[in-house]
Amino acid sequence: MESMMQKKRYYTFNEHLRERFGGKTFKVSLDAGFTCPNRDGTLGRGGCVYCSTRGSGDFAGGQGLSIHDQFVEVTERMKKKWPNANYIAYFQAYTNTYASVERLREVYEEALAEENVVGLSISTRPDCLPEAVLDYLEELNQRTYLWVELGLQSIHDRTMESIGRGHDYAQFLKGLDQLRARRIRVCAHVILGLPGETKAEMMATAQAVAKLPLQGIKLHLLHVLKGTTLGVNYQREPFALLTREDYVTLVVDSLEILPPEMVIHRLTGDGPPEELIGPLWSRKKWEVLNAIDAELERRDTWQGKKAKK
């Protein structure tokens, strides 16, 4: 506990990467031009109700550019502050296993060939993991540092249906089992503040996640963005959004029950400022993170303090 107190009161992704690689390591967000079964008509059109037109890749490299050109574009900004950093190629936009193995191999290998790239992070859906893709992910996992980020958002099927996820909790568990059978690190995405969910339901998701064989988690705040189904619905009939105080409380309550070894990849997120309808307080990301740190200190608590063995 003493070493944690000298850093953060939770196990950050930054700390994990420093332990692994011995120095500063960045994620370089890339857009490989994939789509999603929830957009191309296989399951639906337009994606999940909160999803932006860039498929959650709003801060990825330029669409239409090669992987190399995107990588250069993003890393040039980072090199000014951290000239000797390592990089993790982060395939963030849309569903990054929703293609043939040949296409996946083409883009992943191009990224791995870039200078100082030490691993991959691949964001996808639990229902887009066919056997051939799993075999390739297993191969990658044996020769590089790999994370698969798996969208969950909520354990409640009623919520999943209302936000148009196109899969249920059982499918998430199946995808997780398939990846863990191949010893692949998995990070789950969870959204706090989804329409209609109570605090008890959000905490039930955190409690369930705490018991799963996950190695990482991303806690997101629900962003209402222009041009999304959620944004249209909100402007037509506004619904309650989380206050900063409520969000901070939910995050700290969740951290207390998560296993101390689970890597916290994110505790809040960015919505493109020009597209953000609400909550507007989320624009001040560092103030939110500082408020989480302050609440942890005020309570004298930390990640895993209430975790069940």
- Sorted by where each begins, the domain ranges of the chain are 13-299
Spatial separation of the C-alpha atoms in residues 147 and 186, rounded to whole Å: 6
Contacts of 288 (CB under 8 A, 6+ apart): 221, 244, 247, 248, 267, 268, 281, 282
Contacts of 243 (CB under 8 A, 6+ apart): 279, 281
Query: Is the model's pLDDT at 200 over the cut of 80?
Result: yes
Question: What angle, 0 to 180 degrees and rounded to 10, lies between the N-to-C axes of helices 285-299 and 244-257?
Answer: 50
Q: What is the average pLDDT across 135-150?
A: 97
Q: What is the average pLDDT across 196-205?
A: 96
> Using the 8-state DSSP alphabet, how is residue 62 labeled?
P
Given the candidates 3.20.20.70, 3.90.1640.10, 3.40.50.300, 1.10.260.40, the CATH classification of the domain at 13-299 is: 3.20.20.70
pTM of the model: 0.91
Give pLDDT tens digits for 55-82: 454 445 566 789 999 999 989 888 888 8
Considering only 42-51, 121-130, 166-175, which range has the smallest mean pLDDT?
Answer: 42-51
pLDDT band of 3, cuts 50, 70, 90: very low
- What proportion of the chain, given as a percentage, has pLDDT over 70? 94
pLDDT at position 293 is 97
- Per-residue tokens: 278: 């609400």
| 37 upstream amide cis, omega within 30 of 0 | no
- 77 and 107 in contact (C-beta within 8 Å)? no
Contacts of 92 (CB under 8 A, 6+ apart): 29, 30, 31, 56, 57, 59, 60, 121, 123
pLDDT at position 62 is 62
- 43 and 165 in contact (C-beta within 8 Å)? no
- Per-residue tokens: 306: 């209430």
